[in-house]
Every structure is written in C-alpha cells, then in structure tokens.
Amino acid sequence: MSVIDILVDEHRLVRKYLDTLGIAIDLMGTGGKLPKEFLEKTLDFSNTFLDTYHHYKEEYVIFLKLAEKKGGTIDPQIVSLREQHERGRTFVKAIARSIDGYLEGSEVQRAKLFENLGYFYQLQRAHLNRENHVFFPMARKTFTEAEMEGFMEEFKKEEARLGPETLAYSEKLVAQMDTQLAEVFGDQYQEKRVQLEKVRAH
C-alpha cells in the first residue's frame, strides 16, 4: 500500500462521515432536531481526524513535496487546497459557536448552524473529489517509489505521535453518529439512507 493509497482509504472514512452528515442536514432541513451528542461528534471527527490526522499528511508531506517537485508551477493550486482546509476549520468554529443556542431553541442560531453545516459539507465533498481526481493521480505520476517510501516513514512517525488509536477512534465516531441518527429519527433516517444507497448504485 502506497502513501496515496492510505490517503484514498482515509477519504473513504471521510466520505462515510459526510454521508451521515448529509443525511443529518436533510433531516434538519425538514424540521428535525439534531441531538447534542451528534453535533459534538461531528466536531470531534473534524478536529481529530480531518484537521489533525489527515490534513497533516496532505499538507506537510504530499502537497509540500509535490509543490517542490513541480518547481513552483502548481503553487497556486496547492495554496488553494490549503485554503480549503483553512475554510473548513472556519466553518467548524462557526458550527461550534451555534450549538448551545440551537439546543436552547434559538431560531437565529438554528439558521446559522444549518447554513454552516451545509457549507462545510459541500466544501469537504468538493475538496475530497478534487484531491482524488486531480492531485492524487498527479502525485502517483510524479513521485518515485523511493520517494513514496520516504513519505511512508513520515506518515508512520506522525501516526505514532498522535497515538495508534486515532484511526479506530475516528471510525467509531462515525459509526456512533450513524447510530444516534437512527435512534432519534428511526424510519425517517432509514429512508434517507436507502435513498442514498440507491443514488450511489446508479
């Protein structure tokens, strides 16, 4: 497994997270009230997995080396990918600020939360596709096997620093988010999940 395979694999978990979040946003849009624990886990996954575990590998290893190797020709694109990471963090902060008010019944905070969850979701989905379809293929073509092996060492060091349980913890968060929605929304949730699988199958 190469470092790019690892990133693609991490994107699978991010996609699972986004699928669940997308269902939650839909449910919220039709009047559903998202539980506190679900919102907390949404933030936790973003902080623990996206911003720390995943983005470090992209920004400080792959993007950095890719920009170097391309001799400045793709710098604007790399800057724009980094800006997307940054914008994601800004949305997460805005989401966090609205949670208490939303849970206490504030309509203003509900609207803000709904808006920022939507922006965050759309941004992450577009960003992930851009990496999968443009940057990862470019990285596969650009780096030699020896360079890829060197990056693998960097990845391992970073994973050891964060703690080997981070990935399993993050997978559990996504599973718990799913269970929470299923518990609160029952059939309504199941219908949305079935719809999603149908769209994917086509």
Name the residues that contact Fe ion, by CB under 5 A. Answer: 58, 131
For residue 2, report the phi and psi dihedrals to the nearest 5 degrees.
-90, 170
Compute the least distance from the CB of residue 23 to Fe ion, in Å: 21
Choice between 131 and 178, CB closer to Fe ion: 131
Choice between 129 and 195, CB closer to Fe ion: 129
Choice between 58 and 178, CB closer to Fe ion: 58
Compute the least distance from the CB of residue 77 to Fe ion, in Å: 12
Compute the least distance from the CB of residue 55 to Fe ion, in Å: 6
Question: Cα(34)–Cα(12) distance, rounded to whole angstroms?
Answer: 24
Choice between 26 and 154, CB closer to Fe ion: 154
Compute the least distance from the CB of residue 62 to Fe ion, in Å: 9
166: amino acid identity, one letter: T
Angle of the 166-201 helix axis to the 36-45 helix axis, nearest 10: 110
Angle of the 75-103 helix axis to the 36-45 helix axis, nearest 10: 160
Angle of the 36-45 helix axis to the 3-29 helix axis, nearest 10: 150
Compute the least distance from the CB of residue 39 to Fe ion, in Å: 23
> How many DSSP H helices and E strands does the chain contain?
9, 0
Choice between 34 and 131, CB closer to Fe ion: 131
Contact 66, 155 (CB under 8 A): no
Question: Cα(7)–Cα(143) distance, rounded to whole angstroms?
Answer: 15
Task: Give the count of beta carbons closer than 10 Å to the beta carbon of residue 33.
Answer: 13
Question: Cα(95)–Cα(127) distance, rounded to whole angstroms?
Answer: 19
Compute the least distance from the CB of residue 65 to Fe ion, in Å: 15
Choice between 59 and 147, CB closer to Fe ion: 59
Question: Cα(200)–Cα(202) distance, rounded to whole angstroms?
Answer: 5
